[in-house]
Amino acid sequence: MPYLPIIFLCLFFFPAYTQERLSLETAGQQAQYYLEELQARYRDGDYELHKAYSDSLLDITRKYGFNDLEVMAIVNQAVYYNHVNDYEKALERYYLALEQSASISSRDVARTVILVNIGNTYNNIGAHDKAISTMDTVLLRSRRYPVPPHTEISAYNGLATAYSQLDDEKTAMDYLLKVKEKGEQLKDTAIMVTALNNLSSSYLELQQYDRALETASSSLQLLQDRETRGKTLALINKGLAYLRQGEAGEALGYLKRSVALAARQKSRELQMESHKYLAECYEALGQLEDSYREQKHYTRLVGEKMDERTGALNLDHEKEKTEREENLALAHREKEVLKERQQWFIAVIAIVLSVLTVLLVSVYLKRKKLEKRHTHLLKNLLDITEENNTLKSGIQQVAESSGPGGATLQDTENETEPQYKNSSLTPGDRRKLMERITEFMETDKPYLDLDLDHALLASKLGISNNHLSEVLNRCFKQNFYNFINLYRVNEACNLMQSEDHKDAKLISIAYDSGFKSKSSFNRVFKLHTGYTPSAYRKRYGEA
């Protein structure tokens, strides 16, 4: 279930103007007017207008040099991109806000507030360990600097989200209760709604459906007619609670309302959840055509979300790389300065040698660990391949006995094992590419992409199509589709044996494993395991 973050619209370190209704006579008044309007539009759930005012605020602050308000404008742009699930752009704006905040008077408070929002974005892209680390840093800074009380509340909510996604619901509930308590103390409706919605999501995970219904209903009562993201999640939670209690008829209305509201808000995360559970609801009601339509919407949104998360993670990794390079450059400059002072020469050399030794040992240990993991994965893959070859022999005998006009399995294997007499790859090159491919398949799981093909995998790996074909054929003894299907079948087997997926439909497991259709899933699964998916689940999934 999704959790809603508590997002800061602006930094609370800039003094507001005292006029009751500011005119547009001066640039400063106009900037303050934009700030008030974007806050109001956000509270009303009009995120497009909120973005428009944020852009206008940024233009005028840059023109007249209002540095504090410029940081606010950038943060609000990032908030918008978070809402529309463009996490890469959101991170870009937050990182820019961090840089710009270095030049303002209240930079320590500003950086703390920006870090809260960055932590929420880490949760959105699945980097929950980084989110926990960031939120812990925010709590430490909250005790050191005079930050707004909402900062601490947002950090608690972000920690609850991260721990829930890491399946530690008890810790998540502890933090959510703190959020609810502080929201009640501040009499802040938005915080109370967020806490109630996230508590409702946790109750659903714990299968406490009556309590989930109660908290979702309380959230809707607080919101009344306001069409915010909080209302969308409350509708989802209430509909899902009814659905899990076997009351699909009661659930239908809430889930249909959440689909429409999430679409108007352009929240892909909430659209995904709405379509997913509406598909289940229609299936429970026997309306299979409607269920299939909703499942198609869900599958499309999942693909888009994966692309967005990948871009955001790449941006975050690139930023870390840049920071490391900057740190190394700074260390080098400091070393040059110290070299000019003869009395510190010996100390500098000793420090550098110590650091290099630690780095070399760390690299060596990491490489050994990686090689061990590659060896284990390759052994498992070859074991699966050996089993599949036994199956192929039987299939070949059937194909060869089919008479003239039928292509044999041997014909297919000959086509997928071309000779590479003029290859530019050395055995060492192939070994490195084999390790690179296995690591990529294990960590990034590209085979879960329904539209993955040979060219796309080669592009993701940064190698040519020919080199990819050569490594697959000569090192793995597989053509592209056999290679990818081995991983997809293995993923499906794992899901069917997983406690979290024991009640999942086979078609859902097929999509979650990277298969485009139920027919291809059944055919490939039977070819590689000797069982139909349903037979395999009955034999192994219930063991």
Report which of 187, 188, 195, 278 is spatially closest to residue 235, judged by C-alpha positions. Answer: 278
Residue 54: name the closest of 44, 65, 40, 6 by CA. Answer: 40
Rounded Cα gap, residues 427 and 451, in angstroms: 31
8 A C-beta contact, residue 437 and residue 480:
no
Mean pLDDT of 269-283: 93
Selection from 77, 72, 79, 152 nearest residue 112 by Cα: 152
Residue 122 has pLDDT above 70, yes or no: yes
Q: Supply the angle between the helices 87-101 and 288-339 in degrees, to the nearest 10.
A: 30
d(CA 320, CA 52): 31
pLDDT of amino acid 502: 84
Write down the residue that tokens 């999704």 correspond to. Answer: 2
> Picking from 49-53, 213-217, 340-344, 361-365, which range would have the lowest pLDDT averaged per residue?
340-344
DSSP 187: T
Q: Residue 310 and residue 353: Cα distance in Å, rounded?
A: 37
Better pLDDT: 98 or 43: 98
Helix ranges restricted to H, 86-224: 87-101, 107-124, 128-144, 149-165, 169-186, 189-205, 209-223
The most distant pair of C-alpha atoms in the chain lies apart, rounded to whole Å, by 92
- In sequence order, what are the residues at sequence separation of 6 or more whose Cβ sits closer than 8 angstroms to the Cβ of residue 510? 492, 517, 518, 521, 533
In single-letter form, the type of residue at position 463 comes to I
What is each CA distance from 424 to 352, 428, 463, 471, 478, in whole angstroms?
A: 40, 11, 13, 12, 20
Residues 440-477 as b or e (16 or more Cβ within 10 Å = b): ebeeeebbbbbebebeebbeebebeeebbbbbbbbbbb
Q: For residues 186 and 189, what is the distance between their CA atoms, to the nearest angstrom?
A: 9
Quick one: tokens of 535?
């037979």
Beta-carbon contacts of 72 under 8 Å, excluding residues fewer than 6 positions away, are 10, 11, 14, 35, 57
pLDDT (0 to 100) of residue 92:
94
Sign of the dihedral through C-alpha 514, 517, 521, 523: negative
Mean pLDDT, residues 94-100 taken together:
93
Which tokens in the block code for residue 381? 């893959």
Cβ–Cβ < 8 Å for 183, 153: yes
The per-residue pLDDT for 384 is 47
Which residue is associated with the tokens 């930023």? 319
Tell me which of 117-126, 202-211, 390-399 is least confident. Answer: 390-399
Contacts of 302 (CB under 8 A, 6+ apart): 272, 511
In this prediction, residue 372 carries a pLDDT of 67
- Asked if residues 372 and 385 have their Cβ atoms less than 8 Å apart, the reply is no
Instruction: Enumerate residues 6+ apart whose C-beta is below 8 A from 250.
Output: 242
Q: How confident is the model at residue 25 (pLDDT cuts 50, 70, 90)?
A: low
Q: How far is CA 54 from the centre of its chain?
A: 26
**Close Cβ partners of 522 (under 8 Å, ≥ 6 residues apart):** 532, 533
C-beta atoms surrounding 21 within 10 Å:
6
- Region 42-63: mean pLDDT is 91
Q: Give SS3 for 251.
A: helix
pLDDT of the residue at 253: 94
pLDDT tens by residue, 131-146: 999 999 999 999 999 9
pLDDT at 387 over 50: no
What pLDDT, on the 0 to 100 scale, is given for residue 286? 95
pTM > 0.85: yes or no: no
Residue indicated by tokens 């870390």? 320
The two structure tokens encoding residue 6: 């508590």
Q: Kindly tell me if the per-residue pLDDT of 78 is higher than 60.
A: yes
Residue scoring higher pLDDT (85 or 314): 85
Residue 90 confidence (pLDDT) above 80:
yes
Listed in sequence order, the DSSP H helices in 416-530 are 427-443, 454-461, 465-474, 480-496, 506-513, 518-529
Distant-in-sequence contacts of 215-220, Cβ < 8 A, 24+ apart: 216/241, 219/193
CB 203 within 8 A of CB 211: yes
- The CA-CA-CA angle for residues 349, 355, 358, to 5°, reads 140
340 phi, psi to nearest 5 deg:
-70, -15
Is residue 135 exposed (0-12), middle (13-18) or buried (19+ Cβ within 10 Å)?
A: buried
Picking from 181, 160, 182, 158, the residue whose alpha carbon sits closest to that of residue 172 is 160
What domains appear along the chain, each with residue ranges and CATH number? 391-541 (1.10.10.60)
